[in-house]
């Protein structure tokens, strides 16, 4: 009984962290804070395995902005609900940019971020074969911490970043109280290239390949994700991606003034997917450009 609950909680938390990381760079790559000459506010809802009772629901609200010429800040509120497991968290981001010219499109950036997350496990609704299981004693909660350091280099349309994350464990809920806690580490490599492919009227069209590599120090596993997006900086973007080993993704986004709307769909061929309506994500964002400053190379990946 105890072992099963441990696995359930651990898998849920890993999935939560992984999904947020793929679609919100600023959560695990703090160097993007202040990269754009804008204040960016966004609200996200993600429903995983829609149609299955108790499937994960993720909420995110946050903003990133630039202060002065070189400093970026950001903050996020996180929420997740999956069956009897829920979590809430808060994250802060700081970045410093070193320009290699008069504009914002060439330079280095260094960033740090910190997150605190409260995990809760409601045991009151467990259906047990034994009424007096000693491991089930009501509700349990745990506070975990997450830290991130990153460095990036950007030159016109090229963007390269590497980040290292460290987090305290969360799977010790329902485990012995004297279990030793050890930090877990992950390393990320980001690579994107924004290429102008033409113009129609006043609209510029771009193609953006984006690659993400994630390495887990503990398991020595490497996760590979590849995206390809097409952008029109007039009103829309669309694209797709592949996440190793078997997940396909599609995204479409619209821009109306300062308002950005995007919808993302995940397809994973599995038994769970056959019994659900897939995974859906909706983002509502607002972009407020700073005045009297030179614009950076367009980086819509940070907005959407």
Predicted pLDDT at 134: 57
pLDDT per residue over 58-89, tens digit each?
Answer: 999 999 999 888 899 999 999 998 878 888 99
User: Chain-wide mean pLDDT for the chain?
Assistant: 77
DSSP 219: T
Predicted pLDDT at 138: 63
Q: CA 279, 27, 88, 140 torsion: positive or negative? A: positive
Neighbours of 125 (CB within 10 A): 7
Domain housing 160: 2-303
107: left (phi over 0), alpha (psi -120 to 50) or beta: left
Q: On the CB side of 46, how many CA atoms lie within 13 Å of its CA? A: 26
Q: What is the rounded average pLDDT of the residues 114-124?
A: 84
Q: What is the rounded average pLDDT of the residues 36-55?
A: 84
Confidence band (pLDDT; 50, 70, 90) for 132? low
Of residues 20 and 275, which shows the higher confidence score? Answer: 275
Confidence band (pLDDT; 50, 70, 90) for 125? low
Please, are residues 212 and 249 in contact by the beta-carbon 8 Å criterion?
no
Q: What is the rounded average pLDDT of the residues 22-37?
A: 79
Predicted pLDDT at 241: 82
Confidence band (pLDDT; 50, 70, 90) for 246? confident
Confidence band (pLDDT; 50, 70, 90) for 136? low
pLDDT per residue over 208-221, tens digit each?
Answer: 888 888 888 877 88
CATH number, domain at 41? 2.40.160.40
Confidence band (pLDDT; 50, 70, 90) for 173? very low
Predicted pLDDT at 272: 66
Predicted pLDDT at 226: 85
Of residues 126 and 190, which shows the higher confidence score? Answer: 190
Please, are residues 91 and 115 in contact by the beta-carbon 8 Å criterion?
yes
The answer to whether residue 23 scores a pLDDT higher than 60 is no
Pairwise CA distance, residues 173 & 5, whole Å:
9
Predicted pLDDT at 209: 86
The answer to whether residue 257 scores a pLDDT higher than 50 is yes
Please, are residues 192 and 209 in contact by the beta-carbon 8 Å criterion?
yes
Count of structural domains, the chain: 1
């Amino acid at each position: 009984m105890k072992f099963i609950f441990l696995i359930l909680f651990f898998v849920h938390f890993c999935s939560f962290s992984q999904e947020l990381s793929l679609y919100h760079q600023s959560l695990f790559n703090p160097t993007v804070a202040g990269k754009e000459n804008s204040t960016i506010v966004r609200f996200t809802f993600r429903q995983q395995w829609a149609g299955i009772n108790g499937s994960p629901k993720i909420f995110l609200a946050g903003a990133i902005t630039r202060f002065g010429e070189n400093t970026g800040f950001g903050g996020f509120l996180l929420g997740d609900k999956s069956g009897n497991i829920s979590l809430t968290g808060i994250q802060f981001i700081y970045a410093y940019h070193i320009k290699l010219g008069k504009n914002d499109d060439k330079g280095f950036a260094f960033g740090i971020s910190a997150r605190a997350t409260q995990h809760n496990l409601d045991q009151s609704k467990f259906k047990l074969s034994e009424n007096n299981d000693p491991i089930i004693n009501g509700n349990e909660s745990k506070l975990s911490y997450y830290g991130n350091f990153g460095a990036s280099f950007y030159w016109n349309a090229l963007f390269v970043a590497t980040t290292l994350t460290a987090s305290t464990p969360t799977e010790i809920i329902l485990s012995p109280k004297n279990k030793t806690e050890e930090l877990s580490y992950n390393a990320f490599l980001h690579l994107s290239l924004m290429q102008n492919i033409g113009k129609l009227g006043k609209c510029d069209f771009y193609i953006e390949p984006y690659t993400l590599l994630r390495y887990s120090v503990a398991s020595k596993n490497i996760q590979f994700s590849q995206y390809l997006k097409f952008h029109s900086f007039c009103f829309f973007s669309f694209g797709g991606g592949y996440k190793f080993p078997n997940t396909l993704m599609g995204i479409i986004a619209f821009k109306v003034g300062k308002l950005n709307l995007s919808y993302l769909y995940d397809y994973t061929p599995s038994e769970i997917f056959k019994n659900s309506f897939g995974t859906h994500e909706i983002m509502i964002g607002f972009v407020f450009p700073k005045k009297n400053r030179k614009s950076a190379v367009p980086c819509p990946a940070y907005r959407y």
